[in-house]
Amino acid sequence: MTRLSKLFNSDKKLLSVYFTAGFPAVGDTVKIITELEKNGVDFIEIGLPFSDPLADGPVIQHSSTAAIENGMTARLLFEQLSGIRTSVKIPLLIMGYFNSILQFGVENFVRKCAEVGINGLIIPDLPFEIYASDYRDIFEKYGLSMVFLVTPQTSDARIRQIDSLSTSFIYLVSSATITGNSSDFGKAQDDYFRRISNLKLKSPCVTGFGIHDKNTFTAATKFTSGAIVGSAFIRYLEKSSIDSIDRFVQQFH
């Protein structure tokens, strides 16, 4: 059983945190991962910065631009992660846009992920149809999970197709939005989470986009296995030292 699937065996509402590799400083990657694990985060999304992140709001656009200016690249990220599995036990995913991976070479990228101990990838702009026809074999060869997004506009039939292709979890986008939306969740989200829950999918769901405090975390996980906090963490890092990550994580426990 993989690190990722083991995680979903418990009833605990899982907390996942996203950060942009190379931000605030280019050398912070391992330290941030270590701090997040130490403070009880269940799994981590490492963002590979891209110049034109279509699904991201201003906060992650900014951290991405800063990270690129700091010199972060896929190659450097893999170097930084090369010893990570000697200490870090929780599942690690990389979230990146497809062009970065295409330029690295898809198979090269997936192989490097497997070598350093990455468990899965989230590539928002790689539709599952293209994944299934062109890249699935590569992911299976290296034992890497591909995580697909589902949104309130995704039809039930399409969700079932996504479910059948998923090998770890489904990433439930909370509403029609880019990342970093700070409105609270209302009835629309509740109905949507309930609708997904009623589909009785084989894959567990984790909610993301717009999770920024305890309230949104609780609402987001009422019908799902966990939630991902991204922009709120980046905003915190903009103001606070990476030595005080504990204070950020505590609010979700």
Partner 1 sequence: MKYTVDENGFYGDFGGAFIPEMLHRNVAELREKYLEIYASDQFQSQFGNLLHDYAGRPTPLYFASRLSKKNGAKIYLKREDLCHTGSHKINNAIGQILLARHLGKTRIIAETGAGQHGVATATVCALMGLKCIVYMGEIDMKRQAPNVARMKMLGAEVRAAVSGSKTLKDATNEAIRDWISNPEDTYYMIGSVVGPHPYPDLVAKFQSVISEETRKQLSEKENRENPDYVIACVGGGSNAAGAFYHYLDEPQVKLIAVEAAGKGVDSGESAATSILGKPGIIHGSKTLLMQTEDGQIVEPYSISAGLDYPGIGPLHAHLFASGRAEFLSATDDEAMKAGLELCRLEGIIPAIESAHALAALEKMRFSADDVVVVCLSGRGDKDLATYIEYFKI
121 by DSSP, 3-state: which? strand
Which C-beta is closer to partner 1: that of 101 or that of 245?
A: 101
Query: How far apart, in Å, are the Cα atoms of 149 and each of 61, 130, 182?
Result: 19, 14, 20
Specify whether 56 is catalytic.
Answer: yes
Establish if 85 lies at the interface with partner 1 (CB under 8 A). Answer: no
Distance CA 108, CA 179 (A): 28
Which residues is 162 bridged to in the sheet? none
Establish if 58 lies at the interface with partner 1 (CB under 8 A). Answer: yes
Establish if 169 lies at the interface with partner 1 (CB under 8 A). Answer: no
Which residues between 211 and 250 bind partner 1 (CB under 8 A)? none
Sole binder of partner 1 in the list 31, 38, 54, 83 (CB under 8 A): 54
> C-beta of 175: minimal distance to partner 1 in Å?
9
Which C-beta is closer to partner 1: that of 68 or that of 84?
A: 68
Q: Residues 56, 134, 163, 191: which is the catalytic one?
A: 56
Residues in contact with 217: Cβ distance below 8 Å, sequence separation at least 6, in sequence order = 13, 15, 211, 227, 229, 252
Structure tokens of 224?
């799902």
H or E element that contains 151: none
Structure tokens of 39?
């403070």
Which residues is 46 bridged to in the sheet? 19, 94
Which C-beta is closer to partner 1: that of 1 or that of 157?
A: 157
Binding site for partner 1 (CB under 8 A): 50-52, 54-55, 57-58, 61, 65, 68, 73-75, 97-104, 124-127, 130, 148-151, 153-155, 158, 173, 176-178
